[in-house]
Amino acid sequence: MGADLQHPLPARGARGDRWLRRVPAAGGGGGHGPRAARPRARRPLRGGARRADLPLRRAGEPARADAGGAALGAPAVRRARAPGGPRRAPRLRHVLEARARAPTRGGGGRDARGHRPGAPPPGAARGGGRRGRAVGAGRRAALRPRPAGRRAVGERAARTVRARRRRVHRAGPRQRPLPHPAALAVRVRLLNPVFWPEVRRGSERFARELADGLRDRGHDVTLQTSRRGRRTVAVEDGVTVVRVPRLPGEDRLRRRLYEDHLLHLPAAYRELAADPPDVAHALYPTDALAALRARDRRGGAPVVLSYMGIPHRVGLANRRGRKEIVLRAARESDAVVALSRTAADGFERWLGVRAHVVAPGVDVTAFAPGEGRAPVPTILCAADHTQPRKRVALLAEAFALVRRERPDARLVLSRVPGAPLAGRLPDGVEERDLDDRAVLAAANREAWVAALPSVGEAFGLVLAEALACGTPVVGTAAGAIPEVVDRDGIGALFDGDDPRELAVALRTALDLAADPATAARCRERALELSTDRTTEAYLALYADLTARR
């Protein structure tokens, strides 16, 4: 703008610092003229500092001007800043100089209001704080010196709190009373599509042994299975057994190569939905589907799937829908349990699922060494001869080779209902009904050797039961059988499908049976696979699953 358009009035004096009073300039001034300072109420100003924190000038005391052109208690006129020059408004320097000139009381180097010299005014912005923060009434009260009486009360309260903390630290954490054993009981539902007396296989024995172990520890166990006919409920040896009905058409589905044990699923689901347990433990993938449906739709119990085999692409593809059923059951269950490390590797390889490893337990009380060893060499095979993978025919061929050296040797096979071998048995071979556990234990004590030449075994429970009776065993060096026969002196293994290799293993085991120390070694290995260890492992898994929910 040109000079002729400039404002005719002189520039007004600059506003002083917030905590300074405006007073008339000495000797008068131009512009609007001097104006007497008006008394103001003492209240906190924005910006943090209070007017009372500055030293007040006594009446009649001449004002002192500072080098910057402003005076504390004197005219507070801020000089105009030259264009491009540095800003000259050193508020903090003024405050510090004022505090340095302020008189202090004798106690602790504080001024008349209890503030230390050189400290920033109460409410001023500190490191990390908000600039220009106002001081409220509560903060002003906290900044005031506490009276002697109040200070003593606060110190006594603090000492009491510290003493209480020391006592608690010396006493340790509070010991809560243990809950009643009944409060720790778990309602477990074991699900298996078939059970005794209809079928007596390793899965059914595993279910029975686990149910007995849970029952002996005070837990509520129900074994749910299926049957042809109406629903029945019975208590068998202290365990409640619920049999749900199957729909008709089972043979028709089997002829069309559909997955087994599908027609009882609607009734199994209704049973779980009507009386949901704490844990649903399925021993077959189809039962796991019923438990998963009850869990997802009814907010039911967590689902545990114990797979009684080794997942493999051949076994998963030889039935319609089996791969989809097993895959869904394994991926959606809360926990998957494999019977051996070999079975767990199959889960990870073919299904991409990591499984827990819990070996099936052996009742070491029912299966125990005793008197009654047969006077002649006896070989026992408790496998189902109707299943090709058990390779009972291979065992019969190898036994014929053994009889060339031991003509008095005998081979005892398990009788399968509906598939007798009478009339087709070679010399020295006999059939027995081994479904009953007591009969099977007696047969193991009588035998010199127990053999299981099958392939694809997920564990080999019959071998563990024979070891518990002190009987050496013979098995295939494939699958999970080497995990059972894991040391020397308790049995022999063979490779391939050559009957001569199996005959060599049978002769080696018969020689071990003649050694008096063999029974003790076999019993020691079986104790590592007892039902007690299996039950404790499953209880730990149940507790972990219920705690997550």
Q: Using one digit for the tens of pLDDT, what is the confidence trace for 275-300?
A: 999 999 999 999 999 999 999 998 87
Q: Residue 203's pLDDT is what?
A: 85
Q: Residue 39's pLDDT is what?
A: 56
Q: Residue 529's pLDDT is what?
A: 93
Q: Residue 180's pLDDT is what?
A: 40
In terms of Cβ atoms closer than 10 Å to its own Cβ (0-12, 13-18, 19+), residue 406 is middle
pLDDT confidence bin for 167, thresholds 50/70/90: low
CA angle in degrees (0–180, nearest 5) for 131-136-141: 125
* pLDDT higher than 50, residue 105: no
Q: Rounded distance, CA 80 to CA 508, Å?
A: 113
Higher pLDDT: 432 or 56? It is: 432
Percent share of the chain, pLDDT over 70: 68
- Establish whether domains 183-357 and 378-529 are of one fold: yes
Q: Rounded distance, CA 303 to CA 184, Å?
A: 19
Q: Residue 65's pLDDT is what?
A: 44
Provide, for the chain, the percentages of residues in helix, strand and coil under a 3-state DSSP scheme, each rounded to the nearest 5: 40, 15, 50
* pLDDT higher than 50, residue 60: no
What is the arithmetic mean of pLDDT over 96-100? 53
What is the secondary structure of 352-397 as a DSSP string? ----EE-PPPB-TTTS---S---SS-EEEE-S-TTSGGG-HHHHHH
* pLDDT higher than 90, residue 517: yes
* pLDDT higher than 50, residue 388: yes
Q: Residue 40's pLDDT is what?
A: 56
451-478: per-residue pLDDT in tens?
A: 999 999 999 999 999 999 999 999 999 9
Fold classification of 378-529 is: Rossmann fold (3.40.50)
415-457: per-residue pLDDT in tens?
A: 887 777 766 778 899 999 888 889 999 999 999 999 999 999 9
- Of the candidates 422, 432, 377, 431, which has an alpha carbon nearest to the alpha carbon of residue 403? 377
Q: Rounded distance, CA 37 to CA 16, Å?
A: 13
Q: Residue 506's pLDDT is what?
A: 97
175-221: per-residue pLDDT in tens?
A: 444 444 434 689 999 999 999 777 777 788 899 989 999 999 999 99
- From the CB of residue 443, how many other CB atoms can be counted at a distance below 10 Å? 23
111-146: per-residue pLDDT in tens?
A: 555 555 555 555 454 444 444 455 555 555 555 565
pLDDT confidence bin for 57, thresholds 50/70/90: very low
Taking domain 183-357, whether its CATH number is 3.40.50.2000 is answered by yes
**Roughly what angle, to the nearest 10 degrees, separates helices 437-446 and 461-468?**
60
* pLDDT higher than 80, residue 166: no
What does pTM read for this prediction? 0.65
What dihedral angle (degrees, nearest 10) is formed by the CA atoms of 470, 471, 476, 478? -10
62-92: per-residue pLDDT in tens?
A: 544 444 444 344 444 444 444 444 454 445 5
Q: Residue 485's pLDDT is what?
A: 96
339-369: per-residue pLDDT in tens?
A: 999 999 999 999 999 999 999 999 999 999 9
Quote the mean pLDDT of the chain. 79
Domain boundaries, the chain: 183-357, 378-529
Residue 333 CB-half CA count within 13 A:
32
Q: Residue 497's pLDDT is what?
A: 92
Euclidean distance between the first and final Cα of the chain, in Å?
80
Percent share of the chain, pLDDT over 90: 55
Q: Rounded distance, CA 178 to CA 191, Å?
A: 32
